[in-house]
Amino acid sequence: MRYVSTRGGMAPATFSDILLGGLAPDGGLTLPESYPTLAPGELAGWRGLSYPQLAFAILSKFAGDLPADALHALIDKTYTAEIFRTEAITPVTPLADNVWLLGLSNGPTLAFKDIALQLLGNLFEYVLLKTDGHLNILGATSGDTGSSAEYAMRGKRGIRVFMLSPHQKMSRFQTAQMFSLPDPNIFNIAVRGVFDDCQDIVKAVSNDIEFKARYAIGTVNSINWTRVAAQIVYYFKGWLAVTTRDDQPVSFTVPSGNFGNICAGYIAKRMGLPIRRLILATNENDVLDEFFRTGVYRVRKTDQVAHTSSPSMDISKASNFERFIFDAVGREPAVIRDLWRQIDTRGYFDLSGTPYFHTVRESGFVSGSSTHQNRMETIRRVYRESGIIIDTHTADGVKVGLEHREDGVPLLCLETALPAKFEDSIVEALGRPPERPTGYENIEALPQRFEVMDADVGKIKDYIARHAG
C-alpha cells in the first residue's frame, strides 16, 4: 500500500516513510491511495479473535512494508491486560435496550487516545532503534492527546516530546496528568490561547521543511496517519461484539472535536464494515455539526471558541476533516487546495448546492450538538437507568446518538474518557465524585513542571532548538 497527500504534492510513499511524520511536505495530510476492502467471508472469520489478533489483521493491510513478525510483536506488546486493565481492551457494556457503551478509556491516561498512542510509541521506538535515529515530537492537545502521548513516549530512547496545551483550559486532572511527569524527555508548554492556536503552531512548524529536517520533528496528533489507522480497529471490535449476522448494520455515535476518532469509523465503513450511521456529536463549538447540516464549514476565531465542560472538544479547526473532504470532492487535490485557501482568506467554505455536498449526504454522517445542561442531564439519565457514570464528552455523544437512534439498529456509543478526568462536572451532575482507578487518587497534589508561553511560532521554535536532542 502506498500513501498520497490530500494536496497532491507528495510522491507516493510507504507506511514506513510516513510513520514518523505529520503533515505531508506540501502541507496536506497523508492517506492511502485507495482503502483496502474486506474479502468475502473475511469479516466472519474475525469473530472470536482477540483484540491483538484483530489489530494485526486490520493494520497489516495498512502497514504492508513492515515485517509481519515485527508488527505482530509490537501489537502484542501494546495491547495487554496489564496496560489496559482488561483482556478485552475495548469492552462493550449495555446502557439501554440495543444501546451499548464501547469502552475505550482503560489505558494509562484513562482516555481513548491511549489505544493508538501506546502503539505509536512502540512503533516509533522500533524504527528509531533500527536506524539509530532520534525524534523530537511536537504535539498539540486540548487535554487527552497530550497525556496519552507523554505516557506512551516517556523514557523511550531517542525521543523527546514537546507538547502544547491551552493555558488553564484543561480539567484539573488532565493538567496534573501531563504536567506532573518528571521524565527528562517530556517538555510541557502551556500556550496563552486556545487549542486551535496550539494546533496552528504545530502545523506552522511542520510546514517549515528546513527546521523540521534539522530538528527531526515528528508528531503524534491525529494528523499522523498511524493514529487514525490504529483507531479503525475498535470499530470492528465493537461491531463484532454486538452483532450475530455478518451483514447486520450498526450505528456509532462519536464525540468529535478534531475529526480523528470518527474519521477512523468512516474508513472502517469504506473498508466494508456494515455501519448504518456515523453520528457526530459536538459541544457548543459546533463547527462540524454546522457543516453536516448546512454544507458550510466555518472556523471560529480564537475569541469565539467557547471554554466548555467537555474541554477536549473545544476545537474550531478539525485537522482530520481534510481527509474526509478529499474523498468527498473526488480526491481532487486542486479542489482541496482551493477550499483550504478559502478558509485562510475568508474563514469558511461552502459546499451547499454543489454535487460534493450530495456525496457528503450519502456518506452516512448525521450530526448534532450538546450544551452544558444537555450533558449534565445525560450523565444523570445514564446513571439513573444503568448505574454507569459517563464523562462529559461521552455524554455529548450519548445525547446526540439517542436523537438519531433507529429502531432495530444497535447503537454503539464511544466512551472517550473516564469520568475521573472531569470530576468537577460529575460532582455538579450527580452530587458526588466518581471513583478513581488505583494510582490516581492524589494526582493533583504532585509537583508540576511546565512553561507558559505566548502563541508565537518563533518563540516555540527557539524553545525546541534549545532543548532538542
Which parts of 46-180 fold into alpha helices (H)? 51-59, 68-78, 81-84, 113-131, 144-153, 172-179
> Regarding beta strands 275-282 and 250-255, do their DSSP bridges make them parallel or antiparallel, or are they unpaired?
parallel
- Yes or no: say if 137 and 162 are a contact pair by the CB < 8 Å rule: yes
> Regarding beta strands 99-103 and 411-415, do their DSSP bridges make them parallel or antiparallel, or are they unpaired?
parallel
The neighbouring-strand residues paired with 92 are 102
SS3 307: coil
Phi, psi of 381 (to 5 degrees): -65, -50
> How far from chain centre, in Å, is Cα 138?
16
> Regarding beta strands 186-192 and 348-350, do their DSSP bridges make them parallel or antiparallel, or are they unpaired?
unpaired
**Residue 222 exposure: Cα atoms within 13 Å on the Cβ side:** 30
d(CA 154, CA 150): 6
The neighbouring-strand residues paired with 32 are 3
Per the annotation, the verdict on 113 as an active-site residue is yes
d(CA 325, CA 338): 12
Phi, psi of 296 (to 5 degrees): -100, 125
Alpha carbon of 401 to those of 69, 278, 295, 323: distances in Å? 40, 9, 21, 23
d(CA 174, CA 190): 13
d(CA 155, CA 184): 8
- Yes or no: say if 87 and 94 are a contact pair by the CB < 8 Å rule: no
Q: Based on the number of CB atoms within 10 Å of its own CB, is 49 exposed (0-12), middle (13-18) or buried (19 or more)?
A: middle
The neighbouring-strand residues paired with 282 are 369
Residue that has been written with the C-alpha cell 479473535 in this structure: 49
Alpha carbon of 152 to those of 83, 166, 179, 220, 261: distances in Å? 11, 21, 15, 10, 18
Query: Which one-letter DSSP state was computed for residue 19?
Result: T
Which member of 113, 156, 269, 461 is catalytic? Answer: 113
Task: Provide the grid cell at 288.
Answer: 462540524
Task: Provide the grid cell at 82.
Answer: 496489564
Catalytic residues: 113
